[in-house]
Structure 1
Amino acid sequence: MGSQGSSGRESVFLLAVLVSTMVLTPTLAIHVYTDREIHGTVGSKVTLSCTFWSREWISDDISITWHFQPEYSRDSISIFHYAKGQPYIDNVGTFKERIEWIGDPSWKDGSIVIHNLEYTDNGTFTCDVKNPPDIVGKTSQVVLYVFENVPVRYGVVLAAVIGGVLGLVLVILVIAYLIRYCWLRRQATLQRRLSAMEKGKLRLGRDSSKRRQPPVLYAMLDHSRLTKSASEKKSKGGLGDSRKDRK
């Protein structure tokens, strides 16, 4: 009974150690990155970029594979393979003599170039990278669209629209600022003119009061002159009468 109990405890302990080891050990995973989509024109070339990240050092057994799934098709074919330090290009299929290897695994780059694009190149390209022992991970896909002329992307159009709206708003703000500035300046000018007119009215009032005084003085002077002349006439008349009486 004791031996059976001790063996059971040992098995439980070993199972716990195994589970803890599995939980604590990080899962190796390789991460591959490509563009979501790319555009090209007939007869031109495009670069299908593929970069990756791995927890391990770059192995001599690293492999990079590109697959192509044509548009409106469920089947995919291998068009490029890199292994043992050598690129292997498909020189038989639709991409014969049109694929160029420009990647460098030591820089974690697995990019290729497709020359002389055709309408049949429309489809999905998949980049798959294995770096033993880091071989677990997801592939990455990029969709190629081949046109007669490259269309303007939605992001470019959206950026242009946003830029135009912001520019229009800026112009409106500048115009509103100038209008307000001119209005305030005009109000200040009118205020100065009104102040000047009020000061001028006060001066005119003072001057008019001063100018109204001289006629009164003139009248007083005329009255005094008339009185003086009348007294002189009376005195002359008195003298004449006295001379007549003497005669």
Structure 2
Amino acid sequence: MSQGAGGSGSLLLLLAGLLSVLGPSPTSSIHVYTQREVYGTVGSHVTLSCSFWSSEWISEDISITWHFQAEGSRDSISIFHYAKGQPYIDDVGSFKERMEWVGNPRRKDGSIVIHNLDYTDNGTFTCDVKNPPDIVGKSSQVTLYVLEKVPTRYGVVLGSVIAGALLLVAVVVALVYLIRYCWLRRQVALQRRLSAMEKGKLQRSAKDASKRSRQAPVLYAMLDHSRGTKAASEKKAKGAPGDSRKDKK
């Protein structure tokens, strides 16, 4: 009996293990995405984007948390928390008056904006999202690099250089189009001139042909007249001796 009870217990444990492996898990995995690196200049603002994917519907209990770990520090602090439909900016740290919530959990967006950046903002920001019952997942981190503000004079010079380059490109393009336009116009003028010359030649040849056709009857008449005159003169020349004999008689 004890051996049978032990065998049945082992079978039950095996079935429970199979069910735990094959059966559905009570929780699903949530995926969080951020950029790896973000750059900003002193005095400006930057958006720290955070999106997520969850297999569950967005519940009322969804929570979004941002943590900050300063550059060179081992400790991280909570700077922002979203829960029960309300954003909460933590009073700890220097972000409490410079942070803005721009996310929308319904659109799976948990982004924030940091205003008036300073060198002390250099560090790693971590976004963590929980959407019960989808609470198992890995947070995502983005590193912020705050750079020196670009001097106004340098910006003006850079803008002038860019504007000059754009103006030069515009002038070159305009010259190319102008040269092309002049060339096309010259080609059209040459084509018209050649067409006019061909037309003039055709007209002159037509006039010459018409003139020749008008002159042909006159030439023929002159030839006939000259032939008749020559024949009469020859006949008269032949008949001249006979007449002289008749006069002598």
Normalized against structure 1, the TM-score is what? 0.58
2:159 corresponds to? none
One-letter identity of the residue aligned with 1:50 = C
Which of 221, 236, 239 in structure 2 is aligned with 1:232?
236
Q: Measure, in 2, the Cα distance between the counterparts of 1:220 and 1:100.
A: 119
Q: How does 1:1-247 map to 2 (within 5 A)?
A: 4=3, 8=7, 11-12=10-11, 14-26=13-25, 28-54=28-54, 55=56, 57-60=58-61, 62-71=62-71, 73=72, 75-82=74-81, 85=84, 87-103=87-103, 105=105, 108-147=108-147, 148-149=149-150, 222-243=226-247, 245-246=248-249
Secondary structure of 1:241's match? helix
Q: Measure, in 1, the Cα distance between the counterparts of 2:231 and 2:129.
A: 135
CA contact (8 A) 2:58 2:106 kept: no
CA contact (8 A) 2:51 2:111 kept: yes
Q: Measure, in 1, the Cα distance between the counterparts of 2:99 and 2:242.
A: 150
Secondary structure of 1:234's match? helix
Change (3 A) 1:236 1:107: closer
Deviations 1:122-177 (A, max 9, x none): 3332101233443211112233343424x9xxxxxxxxxxxx9xxx9xx9xxx9xx
**Which consecutive aligned stretches of 4+ in structure 1 deviate over 6 angstroms post-superposition?**
207-217
Change (3 A) 1:226 1:133: closer
CA contact (8 A) 1:56 1:133 kept: no
Residue 20 of structure 1, CA deviation: 3.9
Q: Measure, in 2, the Cα distance between the counterparts of 1:32 and 1:41.
A: 26
Residue 31 of structure 1, CA deviation: 1.9
Q: Measure, in 1, the Cα distance between the counterparts of 2:119 and 2:67.
A: 17
Count the aligned residue pairs: 213
Q: Measure, in 2, the Cα distance between the counterparts of 1:238 and 1:16.
A: 165
CA contact (8 A) 1:32 1:53 kept: yes
Q: Measure, in 2, the Cα distance between the counterparts of 1:109 and 1:29.
A: 17
Deviates more, 1:226-235 or 1:75-84: 75-84
Residue 17 of structure 1, CA deviation: 4.8
Secondary structure of 1:58's match? coil
Secondary structure of 1:64's match? strand
What 5-or-longer segments of structure 2 have no aligned partner?
156-168
Q: Measure, in 2, the Cα distance between the counterparts of 1:80 and 1:48.
A: 13
Q: Measure, in 2, the Cα distance between the counterparts of 1:104 and 1:209.
A: 98
CA contact (8 A) 1:66 1:128 kept: yes
Change (3 A) 1:83 1:222: closer
Q: Measure, in 2, the Cα distance between the counterparts of 1:100 and 1:23.
A: 45
Secondary structure of 1:134's match? coil
Q: Measure, in 1, the Cα distance between the counterparts of 2:5 and 2:92.
A: 67
Residue 121 of structure 1, CA deviation: 1.9
Residue 105 of structure 1, CA deviation: 4.6
Deviations 1:106-131 (A, max 9, x none): 66443322121113323332101233
One-letter identity of the residue aligned with 1:222 = S
1:161 corresponds to? none
CA contact (8 A) 1:36 1:143 kept: yes
Q: Measure, in 2, the Cα distance between the counterparts of 1:106 and 1:237.
A: 143
Percent identical among aligned pairs is: 47
One-letter identity of the residue aligned with 1:116 = N
Change (3 A) 1:10 1:222: farther
Q: Measure, in 1, the Cα distance between the counterparts of 2:12 and 2:215.
A: 125
One-letter identity of the residue aligned with 1:82 = H
RMSD: 4.9
What 5-or-longer segments of structure 1 have no aligned partner?
152-163
Change (3 A) 1:102 1:236: closer
Change (3 A) 1:211 1:144: farther
Deviations 1:35-75 (A, max 9, x none): 44444332222332323333265254x4432122344x363
